[in-house]
Structure 1
Amino acid sequence: MNHHRLTTIFLTTLMALAVQAMMPPNIQAQSSHAESFQRPNIIYILADDMGFSDVGCYGSEIDTPNLNLLAEQGVRFTQFYNTGRCCPTRASLLSGLYPHQTGVGHMMEDRGYDGYRGELNRHCVTIAEALQSADYRCYMTGKWHVTKAVKAKTEAEKQNWPLQRGFDRYYGTITGAGSFFDPSSLVRDNTFVSPLNDPEYPESHWPGETYYYTDAIADQGSKFIREHHFQSGDQPFFMYVAFTAAHWPMHALPEDIEKYKGEYDAGYDAIRNARYERMIELGLIDADNTVNWPIPKKLKETEHWDWDKRNMEVYAAMIDSMDRGIGRMVESLKATGQFNNTLICFLQDNGGCAEAYGRGGKGTDRASKPPLSPLSADYIQPDALPKQTRDGYPIRRGKGAMAGPADTAIGYGIGWATVSNTPFREYKHWVHEGGISTPLIVSWPDGISRRGELERTPSHLIDLMATAVDISGAEYPTTYHEGQAISPMEGKSLIPAFQGKPIDREAIYWEHEGNRAVRVGDMKLVAKGKNGKWELYNIAKDRSEQNDLSSEMPEKQKELAALWDTYAERANVLPLSPKRKP
């Protein structure tokens, strides 16, 4: 280690000690673990639109050996939460704040209020910005989705792009969804690129014969890991990997789809029942506090069953491919001697997606010949739903259009989303357990002595910033962005939970589209829609949220509702679910 590096660590430690001395006791407690171990690399991996039971080690039949191995070598959380929707989750993960505090209380549009600007604001810092004070290099690959500027041309318009928010290198998509074969708003660092004209990821580097975004995200992650080791190995790094799998459209490579052919012939209920039993065997849930109700007939596809079965086969193939990509990144860590002292956290941005994307009307077969002119190699795809494929085929949607190829745009629908969310209520958008429950797989061989254990402490993705600050020795700023006041962290460091110790917190809060909730201990108050009535559940006894206790415990309902009201007032949640600004 060189003299400059030793000096930097010494000065950083002095600064951290000085800052801790000025912090309130609760903040000091979040910043007290960096001295007890060598500062690790940190990798946060976020999957897209997946349910609680979709990973093998959380009950799924889908083949995820690499995630399973990380779980065997570390800890799985059974009560970890997201925000119930993609971009609010990303804003919250990046900032350690509730999404409305960052300006991303809904999606990427300005609704006229500070909590709903649709843009990551300047009163928050990203993990990358916070870790600069601890001399971390910061990388990102994958989906950004916290800015409206998806077609930005000027530096001013790119003020909320990754490199302008603390990352040293970036490869991915600025927007929220798109083709896996021709991604919309694909960017390398600060420049738009096409999959076919990117010199840093030419066709010779693709794992197969076809560009596939899931592969590209993972391959860039592996590349950053190896480059960091050889170019900046005397510094620790933070990397944020944001896959778009398994978000619609259901796109996968033919060989991956073939692997799951016939896997779902038994139908929705049989797959859900098998997952439920497996989850009980794994200790993730208890039979006495969950209900595995039959899937209502109205949620099942009957007339086009072969088509919907195919949708789930493709969905499984997408997750399988993502797992292999994670395996390649882990192999890069091991090959460069960085694995043991790297904290890896895998989680998901919301529950299974019940949206009817591409499922209306009658679908068509693929044309025998491309009727449209092919696109040039340097064409930059602007559309989340392309008008055609690169080789000239129009996009097909509707029942009967078999998902998987680049010329389809289909979602897997509410029936399979119910399977994904086994055994919880509701879906993406809502804040019942099915919408907000996510796996959290944590691996850090040098920092966590537990192996293959379950951690039942309720936690939230706001805790990931606090954890990164804690173990890095970084200084979480009070001002940033040319003197702007920065909101204090909302989360708690997960280091105590990694060690099997409790985390002391008042409550965890949610709001999205009028769906709202608060959890204190085992008690959860939740409502569906801005006019929905409050429901009260004891999650320890009723995690499937079947027995509403609000009429039996009116004082507890009133107490938790008052807590939520106070949170909503201070966290820019109000007015509740405002209309789009004219």
Structure 2
Amino acid sequence: MSRRFADPMRRNRPATVLAALTLLHLLAPATHAAPAKRPNIVILLADDWGFSDVGAFGGEIATPNIDALAAKGVRFSNFHVAGSCSPTRAMLQTGVINHRAGLGNMPETIPPEHQGKPGYDAHLNNRVVTIADQLRAGGYRTYLTGKWHLGHTPDSLPTARGYDHALALAQSGADNFEDKPNLLIYDQTEWSEDGKPAKLPARFYSSTLIVDRMIRYIDSGKASGKPFLASVNFIANHTPLQAPDADIAAYAGRYTAGWTALRSQRRAGAITQGVMPAGVAMVTMNTSADWSKLSPKERQQRAGAMAAYAGMATAMDREIGRLVAHLKAIGEYENSIFVFLSDNGAEATDPMAMGAFARWNANHLYDQSIARQGRPGSLTAQGAGFASASVSPLRGYKFTASEGGLRVPMIMAWPGNPAIRGGRVATGFAHVTDMPPTLLALAGVAPQQGVLAGRRVEPMIGLNLSPMLTGSTPSVHPADKPLGYELSGNAVLFKGDYKLVKNLPPYGDARWRLYNISADPGETDDLSRADPERFAVMQSDYVAFARANQVLPMPEGYTAPDQIFANALRTLLIPRLLELWPAGAILVIALATLIRWRRRRATR
């Protein structure tokens, strides 16, 4: 690895361990009777939530329980993840950049040309160690419920990667009311419990199931007296958007003014909440149609989809409140560290807008009537217009390297710790790889040092955010230290307040641009011409990052949405169609020809 991107913790390991233990002492609640009890750690990971979906970040959706954590803790307004789910989850679990953790791309979006290449395992590789591995070795109980999406074989499921117990979904998403996959992508669900196929209830709601099982796990080990890691991974608000009827009904008529009005309202709310600078500039995304030019039926459909989205978020928030209430009841709330974040920005991809075949297939497999949006049996998606409001006032969405894809709401709270002043906003840059070093430091557990059980493992690159929690420093990332990132050809180099970024079609034009994301988080003012020296140096930094991490160029004409369709076609639809020989074979050839034509057209 290039020295420029070497592990910062290698420079002084003894000092790092001492600092971690000192921070635990300084941040721990005071006691005169005995040494401070080590804190529980509760990670609350939302799926596909945009920057301003949370009330405490400027949104109108009812999220009172998440907002209560924000009031007790610190909101990070400049926190970054990956542009899609499993790369973020890999970094959150390990503190290692996604390419070195095996998620240079995720299974649904990886092109065949990259599969199996170094860093493109499409699952969490064995060269990394999870935070669960390290906390368990340090005396913690470790539990995970919900979406895993980091592997589906026995050696890559959570209980093989440090978790004592886990109810885990190995895929990107699933139905929320029954054990049923997203039929456009998968032929069956892959829920497991403790490494074996899970038997789910005949009827359930995903957010409730995920919290129910976590409460069961926590209670089962309570007699041990050990602290616990609870990794709670919701599939809200991944497509399909589904929620209880009452939650959807609560937002009836709320979104009839459209996404442009909501995007402006969210911008104002983010400023009022202090998570965006006053006067923040905002672009109009070219993927958002003119609301006033839609037909009444189209407006009804889109407003109903957003009501389902909001209802799903509120239902998830209620389950977070139920978990918090349980921790209070068993006396574990005050000494628990809560982390809330989303795995990426809002999802703009809509199966109903992906061409005639996808639309026909969705209508064939699901009840897509307007009245049934968000209900059992439906396949509802937010779409690009309202996704632009979810990320307001940022540019871009999930999959992109723009701030709307990478900057997400993040909250850290330790209710019983007087060193953390509640309600504060930390505006300095922070990254998802910072979470494992931070949580290990607060737990008083020394991080792994590049070798585990006699084998070399990837060192964590993240930094300890504890000084930002107490407000003793605005940022822990040095202004002259670059941090690179790439996913599906969309690429970034962060350095101080600046961001070098490139997005491939359909999200961009493959040109590099330069922004000051502290002063201009909406990415409205490209500084590449005004600051050519910085632009050139950061391009050189990115080349060094890509070389050190074996980043591969994308195949000609590649787009993430098209690759999802192509991979599903190859693994799901083709076998089904071939069963209908010879008519099915003719259809397979026609679909393959369509994919090639779309790729060639995209490169013209």
Where on the TM-score scale, by shorter chain, does this alignment land: which range? 0.7 to 0.9
Q: Is the 8 A contact 2:434 2:462 kept in 1?
A: yes
Q: RMSD of aligned C-alpha atoms? A: 2.8
User: 1:222 deviation in Å?
Assistant: 2.4
Secondary structure of the corresponding residue to residue 423 of structure 1: coil
> Does the Cα contact within 8 Å between 1:268 and 1:295 map onto a contact in 2?
no
Query: How do 1:25-64 and structure 2 match up within 5 A?
Result: 25=15, 29=19, 32-36=22-26, 37=28, 38=36, 39-64=38-63
Of 181-190 and 257-266, the range deviating more from structure 2: 181-190
Residues 1:542 and 2:520 aligned together: yes
Summarize deviations over 1:472-522 as a string: whole Å, max 9, x none: 222322456753311111101111110112314323322111111112111
CA contact (8 A) 2:305 2:381 kept: yes
What whole-Å deviation, never above 9, does each CA across 1:315-361 have from its counterpart, x for those lacking one?
A: 00100000000001101111111111110000001111110224457
- State the distance in 2 between where 1:442 and 1:577 align: 39
Of 385, 391, 407, the residue aligned with 1:421 is 391
Question: Map of 1:502-521 to 2, 5 A cutoff?
Answer: 502=473, 503-505=476-478, 506-521=481-496
Q: 1:410 deviation in Å? A: 2.4
* 1:545 CA drift (Å): 0.8
CA–CA distance in 2 between the matches of 1:141 and 1:70? 20
Instruction: Write the deviation string for residues 85-122 of structure 1: whole angstroms up to 9, x where unpaired.
Output: 11100111001011001011111256231111112111
Q: Secondary structure at the match of 1:489?
A: coil
Partner of 1:403: 373
Counterpart of 1:260 in structure 2 is 251
The residue that corresponds to 2:215 in the other structure is 222
Query: Quick one: structure 1 residues 21 and 237, their matched pair in 2 at CA, closer, same or farther if it must change by over 3 Å?
Result: farther
Aligned to 1:321: 315
The answer to whether the aligner puts 1:177 opposite 2:173 as a matched pair is yes
3-state DSSP class of the match of 1:23? helix
**Structure 1 CA distance, aligned partners of 2:154 and 2:55?**
39
Which residue of structure 1 lines up, in the alignment, with residue 235 of structure 2?
A: 244
Structure 2 partner of 1:373: none
1:474-489 alignment to 2 at 5 Å?
474-478=445-449, 483-489=454-460
* SS at structure 1 position matched to 2:372: coil
Rounded Cα–Cα distance in structure 2 between residues aligned with 1:228 and 1:332: 15
- Is the 8 Å Cα contact of residues 140 and 170 (structure 1) preserved in structure 2? yes
Q: Which is further off, 309-318 or 32-41?
A: 32-41
Contact 1:268-1:415 at 8 Å conserved across structures: yes
414, 422, 438: which one pairs with 1:467? 438
CA contact (8 A) 1:222 1:328 kept: no
User: What is the alpha-carbon distance in structure 2 between the residues aligned to residue 164 and residue 298 of structure 1?
Assistant: 46
Partners of 2:368 and 2:105 in 1: CA distance: 28
Give yes or no for contact 2:304–2:370 (8 Å, CA) kept in 1: no
Name the counterpart of 1:367.
none
Mapping for residues 90-105 of structure 1, pairs under 5 Å: 90-105=89-104
CA distance in 2, matches of 1:491, 1:275: 31
Q: Deviations over 1:201-233 (max 9, x none)?
A: xxxxxxxxx51111111222222333333x32x
Structure 1 position 146 matched with structure 2 position 150: yes
Alpha-carbon distance between aligned partners in 2 of 1:355 and 1:251, rounded to the nearest angstrom: 16
2:518 paired with 1:528: no
Mapped partners of 1:61, 1:126: distance in 2: 36
Aligned to 2:543: 565
More moved, 439-448 vs 566-575: 566-575
Normalising by structure 2, what TM-score? 0.80
Q: Secondary structure at the match of 1:298?
A: coil
CA deviation vs aligned residue, 1:403-459 (integer Å, no higher than 9, x gap): 212211121100010010101111101111111011111110233430111111110
Match of 2:124 in 1: 120
**Residues 295 and 429 of structure 1: CA distance in aligned 2, closer, same or farther (over 3 Å):** closer
- Asked whether 1:23 is paired with 2:1, we answer no
- Is the contact made by 2:288 and 2:388 (CA closer than 8 Å) also made in structure 1? no
Distance 1:225 1:284 in 2: 33
Which amino acid is 1:559 matched to? V
Query: Are residue 335 (structure 1) and residue 334 (structure 2) matched?
Result: no
**One-letter code of the match for 2:415?**
P
Does the C-alpha gap of structure 1 residues 467 and 49 become closer, same or farther in structure 2, counting only changes over 3 Å? Answer: same
Higher helix share: 2
Query: Does the aligned pair in 2 maintain the 1:225–1:333 contact within 8 Å?
Result: no
Structure 2 residue ranges without an equivalent (≥5):
1-8, 29-35, 180-188, 571-604
Distance 1:223 1:255 in 2: 27
* Partner secondary structure for residue 122 of structure 2: coil
Write the distance in 2 (CA, Å) between the matches of 1:552 and 1:292. 20
Specify the alignment match of 2:141 in structure 1. 137
Residue 429 of structure 2 corresponds to residue 458 of structure 1: yes
Evaluate the alpha carbon distance shift between residue 294 and residue 92 of structure 1 in structure 2; reply closer, same or farther with a 3 A threshold: closer
Partner Cα distance (1:106, 1:333) in 2: 37
**CA distance change for structure 1 residues 294 and 574 in 2, over 3 Å: closer, same or farther?**
closer
SS in 1 for 2:43: strand
Contact 1:526 1:534 in 2 (8 A): yes
What secondary structure sits across from 1:246 in the alignment? coil
CA drift of 1:45 comes to: 1.0
Secondary structure, aligned partner of 1:215: helix
CA-to-aligned-CA distance 1:513-545 (integer Å, 9 cap, x gap) = 111111211111111129722101112221111
Gaps spanning 5+ residues in structure 1: where? 1-18, 150-156, 198-209, 364-384, 389-393
- Tell me the TM-score normalised to structure 1 length: 0.83
Letter in 2 for 1:132: R
CA 1:463/1:518 → structure 2, altered by over 3 Å: closer, same or farther? same
- Corresponding residue for 1:285? 276
Q: Describe the superposition over 1:287-329 as per-residue Cα deviations: whole angstroms up to 9, x where unpaired.
A: 3332264877636582311111110010001000000000011
- Describe the SS at the equivalent of 1:139: strand
Q: For residues 576 and 358 of structure 1, do their structure 2 counterparts lie closer, same or farther at Cα, with a shift above 3 Å needed?
A: closer
Residues 247/415 of structure 1: CA separation in 2 closer, same or farther (3 Å cut): same
Amino acid at match of 1:240: S
Name the amino acid aligned to 2:322. R
Q: Secondary structure at 2:409's aligned position in 1?
A: strand
Distance 1:480 1:190 in 2: 26
Identity %: 33
Take 1:63 and 1:227, find their aligned partners in 2: how far apart are those partners? Answer: 32
How many angstroms does 1:402 deviate by?
3.5
SS in 1 for 2:156: coil
User: Does the C-alpha gap of structure 1 residues 139 and 255 become closer, same or farther in structure 2, counting only changes over 3 Å?
Assistant: same
Paired residue secondary structure (2:79): strand
Q: Is the 8 A contact 1:66 1:326 kept in 2?
A: yes
Is the CA contact (8 Å cut-off) linking 2:477 and 2:496 kept in structure 1? no
* Matched residue SS, 2:239: coil
Whole-angstrom CA distance in 2 between matches of 1:411 and 1:185 = 22
User: In the alignment, does 2:294 pair up with 1:302?
Assistant: yes
Deviates more, 1:177-186 or 1:345-354: 177-186
**CA separation of 1:188 and 1:269: change in aligned 2, threshold 3 A:** same
d(CA) in 2 for partners of 1:51, 1:228? 35
In 1: Cα distance, 2:246 partner to 2:370 partner: 21
2:555 and 2:392 mapped to 1: Cα distance? 28
Contact 1:513 1:577 survives alignment (8 Å): no
Higher deviation after alignment, 549-558 or 136-145: 549-558
Point out the more displaced range, 395-404 or 220-229: 395-404
Letter of the 1:290 counterpart = A
The structure-2 alpha-carbon separation of the partners of 1:299 and 1:212, relative to structure 1 and needing over 3 Å to count, comes to farther
**Matched-pair contact (CA < 8 Å) for 1:311–1:402:** no
Contact 1:141 1:221 in 2 (8 A): yes
Counterparts of 2:451 and 2:514, CA distance in 1: 40
Match of 1:235 in 2: 226
Answer whether contact 2:20 2:442 (CA < 8 A) is retained. no
After superposition, the Cα gap between the structure-2 partners of 1:442 and 1:99, relative to the gap in structure 1 and judged at 3 Å, is: same
